[in-house]
Structures are given as C-alpha cells and as structure tokens.
Amino acid sequence: MIKRILCIGIAASLTTCLAPCQQILADGTQEPEAKRILGIVPNYRTSPSIQDSEPLTIGEKFKIASDDSFDRGTVALAAIFAGQSQLTNANRSFGQGGAGYARYFGTAYGDFVIGNYMTEGVFPTLLHQDPRYFRRGIGSGWSRLGYAMKQIFWTHRDSGFEDLARLGYTERVIQESMRIYPPAWVFARTPVEDDVIGGYHIPAKSLVVISPYVTHRLPDLWENPEIFDPDRFLPKRSEGRPRFAYYPFSAGPRQCVGASMATLEAQMIISMTAQRYQLSAPPGLSPGLKPRISLTADRTLWLTPVSRACAGSAVTDR
C-alpha cells in the first residue's frame, strides 16, 4: 500500500517535472527566463538582471510568494518529501498508509507555502527588502551557486544598497540567553516502554520531567555556567559538547515546530532595535525569576531607549 502511494506520488512528481518548463508566450516568443531550477524548483523570486532593481510594491512581493507556492513544482517537491519522510517513518504519530501520506504531504506543502509567504512576502514587506535577489536566475550553474552562497551573507534592500548580514554575534547572544533562561524551562515526556537511563529504571507510562534550565547549567557540560558568555557558542568552543547539552526548543519528533521562526524573529527584532537604540536598564536592577509555564522575570523590566542617532554612535555586530 505504502509503495503504491509512493509510486503514485513520485510518478506524479516526475510527470510534472519533466513537462516543458519554458512557456511559449501568446506572441510566439519564449518566456525570457525559466522559472524553475532544474525544471522542478519554483524560482519566481529571481530577476532577469541584477541591474533591473526597481523596488517592488507589496503586492508584487506577495505575487512572487503566491507564484512560488501554487506552482506545480512545489506540489511535486512536497510529494517527494512526503514520500521520503514516510519511508523513513520520520514522524511516527503520522502513521502509514494513505492517511499517513496525506499528513506528511500536508505538512511538507504547508512548510513550503508558509516559508514562501514569510520569506518572499511578509518579511521583505516588513523589512523593506527585495525578495528577488536571494537567488539569481541567469548565468551558469556555478555562478548561480556562487551567487546564492554570497546571498547568505549579503541582503539587498529596496533602497538599492547592500547590508552585510553579520548576525553571527546576535545569534550567539540569543543562544546564550536561552541557555541561561530557557523560556520553556521544563517539560515532560511519557515513556512508551520500560527503559534504563543513567542507571535509573524508568517504568513505562511514568512522568519524566526534563528541564533545560538544569541541563544548561550543569558544570560538567558548561564552563562557568552562571556567566553570560555568547562566544561559548562559537564553533571552536562548541567542539565536543554533547548534542543534547542544549535544547531550548526540546528535541526529537515533538520538538518545537516554531524554532526556526522564533530564532529568525528574535534575530531581526534584536538586530533592528540595537541598530537604532541603545537600551539602558535602571541602575541596580536585579530582577528575579518567575517560573510558570514559561520562564519570565518577576517584574516588568522598563528599559530606556536612547536613539543611536542622538547618541552619535553606530552599532556594529561582530
């Protein structure tokens, strides 16, 4: 049954992908640029030329997101990803058979659609960025690859100038904040069968409480755990650290589905705020913790923003 569903999914995908990708326009000329990479991956966010950088309207940005989302290539990719996830039983709770495949497909397709709208419509609109230049639609395969790699570090804005997206330090600050104060500081699991962990017998159906707040402060895993030190997340200093020493978003099949989005949002909010304002806390402020479902401060933290333009300083990220 699974095989049949997979075959149908993959066959549908291949038929879709092998169909001619370049459209003949009404006047007999060919569409100037293929809108699918390798005939499969929808690529409406490219532009024929990087010189042609007229700012897009909000509507045009969302049109790119819609074109990429409701393209036959996106459906084909979702079908392939769903098949692969079902084969590897990536999420046991989805089950197998037709219903299981439908869940995998729905999730994969939903991921594509949400991803497209967020990265090509919502964020470019909020940040006044141009979604077209993350990938380029002209040139050789190697030049496109090189361009895409470069775009990981550079972003283009409506205004036409380039910002160097050096968010490395910001990301480490976020990681370190969630190490010391993980917002989801405790959660629980129920083992489906008996197990032994670290010499302790864990009976099936018992309540196992897991706390990243505790793990993130274990001196065996973290040097000077009480010290705020974002650079402890530098690759060099992370070598040898066990995979599950750090899990602010939990881990395994039920880990947070919003982890990437939450991290991206935090990076944007912090870096955009820090670029414009210096935030200062009242002298002597020393809040305590209020551990409820999520971990918060025990009082409202009032910070004073001072415009960097007024203060005459510019912020640079490392």
Contacts of 106 (CB under 8 A, 6+ apart): none
95 lies in the site for ligand HEM, by CB under 6 A: no
Structural contact between residues 104 and 111, judged by C-beta atoms closer than 8 angstroms:
no
Does 268 bind ligand HEM (CB under 6 A)? Our answer is no
Nearest distance, CB of residue 253 and ligand HEM, angstroms: 7
Residue with tokens 């707040």: 213
* Torsion over CA: 199, 203, 205, 208 (sign): negative
Q: Which is nearer to ligand HEM, 169 or 187 (CB)?
A: 187
Structure tokens given for 107 = 């999730």
| Residues in 155-194 that interact with ligand HEM by CB under 6 A | 183-184, 187
> Residue 75 or 184: which CB sits closer to ligand HEM?
184
Provide DSSP, 89-115.
T--GGG-SHHHHHHHHHHHHHHHHHHH
Binding residue for ligand HEM, selected from 204, 214, 234, 257, defined by CB under 6 A: 257
Tokens of 231: 């650079």
Provide the b/e sequence for 248-272 (b: ≥16 CB within 10 Å).
bbbeeeeeeeeeeebbbebbeebbe
297 binds ligand HEM (CB under 6 A): no
Residues from 235 through 254 that contact ligand HEM (CB under 6 A): 248-250, 254
Characterise 224 by phi-psi region: left (phi > 0), alpha (psi -120 to 50), beta (else).
left
CB of 96 to ligand HEM, least distance (A): 18
Residue closer to ligand HEM by CB (options 113, 262) is 262
**Under the criterion CB under 6 A, does residue 109 sit at the interface with ligand HEM?**
no
Q: Counting contacts by CB under 6 A, is residue 295 touching ligand HEM? A: no
Q: How many residues bind ligand HEM (CB under 6 A)?
A: 12
Q: Are residues 110 and 78 in contact, defined by beta-carbon separation less than 8 angstroms?
A: no
- Smallest gap, in angstroms, from Cβ of residue 223 to ligand HEM? 23
| Site residues for ligand HEM per CB under 6 A | 183-184, 187, 248-250, 254, 256-258, 261-262
